[in-house]
Structure 1
Amino acid sequence: MKKLLLITAMTVFSFAHAQKGTILVLGNVGYYSEKRSDSGSSSTQKTFNFSPKVGYQYNDNWTVGVESSIANSKQTYTIGEVKSNNFSVGGFVRYMKPIGGIFSAYADLGTGYQSSDITQINGGMDPFLFESKGSGFYVGVTPALFVNINKGFGLNFNLGSIGYSTLNYSNARSDTQNFNFSFGQAFSIGISKNF
């Protein structure tokens, strides 16, 4: 019985992290919808985002790859709407360490290019159309926990990140520089598979 438990534990541990020479495919998908109705006015907001990653694990702990993100948002008000389209593409490096059983801890360092396109339409007494386009870069570190479900297929859980990003706009809209520290304030679940 002890031998069977030892063999089972070793088998589970061997699948708990990806092996050297494998391809890692993962991503997050998100959707948010909200409707508000106040006295005489109403608003709706819908947001969708998709963030895929593909990497190559060149040894038992290190993975290098490419990442991207697409996010679309639309806010509709009684007299107008605001649409936002955001895109980013870059690279990432991951260090993963098994912590026992089916669990591994990892941290991703990602950096790359990002762009934003915002359109505002006002249909009230003084109608106008305003469009703003910006581009910049981002860099961030995201620690997370990987739970292996079966043969390299698993779930990724993170509780926040730390990052810095810039967006420089081509018109009168103010340029932005953003520092983000969200440990304990954000939560996301992703799916990954090693081939």
Structure 2
Amino acid sequence: MKKMLLVIALAVVSFANAQKGTYFVSGNVSFWSSKDSNNSSESKTDRFGFSPRIGYQFKDNWTVGIESGFSSDKNVYTYQENAMNNQERISKNYSVGAFVRYSKSLSQMFLLYADLGAGYKNSKETNTNSFSNPVTFTNTFDGVYAAFAPGLFLNIKNNFGLNFGIGGLTYSNTKSDQNNGKNSNFYFNFGQSFNIGLSKNF
């Protein structure tokens, strides 16, 4: 897929300009599902995510805006011989913040950009076991995040097009509301992930 994008980018010689005084809205929707199994157990994971954005291009090549995000993960573990050990974990994540974008036109069809965002995030994790007396544990985390992500915009028609992302850098620092436990994470997945979104400039 990365080679395909590179070939397309080199083959087309026209790009959409990020012009001063214009607005844009964009959003990414993602769904991922996986299943792992063996003779004694099975693990299934479903993940859904949605991240809308609104930005104002206050200067040629520079944009500021508001971003938000929602994702939901469901993990189910089932055991063939002992159903009492079955477990389910559901995680829901919310975020809201601001971002700044620098973009560079390569032609009327393609635009390169890099986003730097930061804001507030909240996570809620619920774990349920299937023992004889099922018990549910819930843990909530609040904190901050910062992220850097480069991307490519493909102008299909009238500044409506597709955003292509290939990962980046993400840092988050959260604290549990139940036991004051802290969770600090740093992710580097540049070139290791791929996502597609829609964008419209006005």
Report the CA distance shift for 1:40/1:181 in structure 2 as closer, same or farther (over 3 A).
closer
Deviations 1:117-168 (A, max 9, x none): 0000011256322110001100111111112111111111121111211111
Q: Which residue of structure 2 lines up, in the alignment, with residue 122 of structure 1?
A: 129
Q: Which residue of structure 1 lines up, in the alignment, with residue 199 of structure 2?
A: 192
Q: Which residue of structure 2 lines up, in the alignment, with residue 83 of structure 1?
A: 90
Q: Which residue of structure 2 lines up, in the alignment, with residue 65 of structure 1?
A: 65
Q: Which amino acid aligns with 1:109?
A: L
Q: What is the CA distance between 1:173 and its match in structure 2?
A: 7.7
Counterpart secondary structure, 1:100: coil
Q: Which amino acid aligns with 1:74?
A: K
Pairing 1:88-107 to 2, within 5 Å after superposition: 88-107=95-114
Deviations 1:55-76 (A, max 9, x none): 1111221111100000011112
Partners of 1:44 and 1:159 in 2: CA distance: 25
Deviations 1:20-52 (A, max 9, x none): 222110011011122343324333221110000
Partners of 1:142 and 1:169 in 2: CA distance: 27
Q: Which amino acid aligns with 2:136?
A: L
Partners of 2:45 and 2:167 in 1: CA distance: 23
State which drifts further: 39-48 or 59-68.
39-48
Q: Which amino acid aligns with 1:133?
A: T
Q: Which residue of structure 2 lines up, in the alignment, with residue 137 of structure 1?
A: 144
Q: Which residue of structure 2 lines up, in the alignment, with residue 39 of structure 1?
A: 39
Residue 159 of structure 2 corresponds to residue 162 of structure 1? no
Partners of 2:124 and 2:181 in 1: CA distance: 13
Pairing 1:163-178 to 2, within 5 Å after superposition: 163-172=170-179, 174-178=181-185
Aligned partners of 2:30 and 2:195 also within 8 Å:
no
Consecutive unaligned residues of structure 2, counting only runs of 5 or more, are: 1-12, 79-85
Partners of 2:130 and 2:183 in 1: CA distance: 27
Deviations 1:102-125 (A, max 9, x none): 211111110000000000001125
Partners of 1:181 and 1:77 in 2: CA distance: 28
- Aligned sequence identity (%): 48
Q: Which amino acid aligns with 1:112?
A: G
The number of residue pairs the alignment matches comes to 183
Residue 156 of structure 2 corresponds to residue 152 of structure 1? no
Q: What is the CA distance between 1:100 and its match in structure 2?
A: 2.8
Residue 50 of structure 2 corresponds to residue 50 of structure 1? yes
Counterpart secondary structure, 1:58: strand
RMSD: 1.8
Report the CA distance shift for 1:127/1:173 in structure 2 as closer, same or farther (over 3 A).
farther
Aligned partners of 2:17 and 2:108 also within 8 Å:
no
TM-score normalized by the length of structure 2: 0.83
Aligned partners of 2:53 and 2:68 also within 8 Å:
yes
Aligned partners of 1:132 and 1:173 also within 8 Å:
no
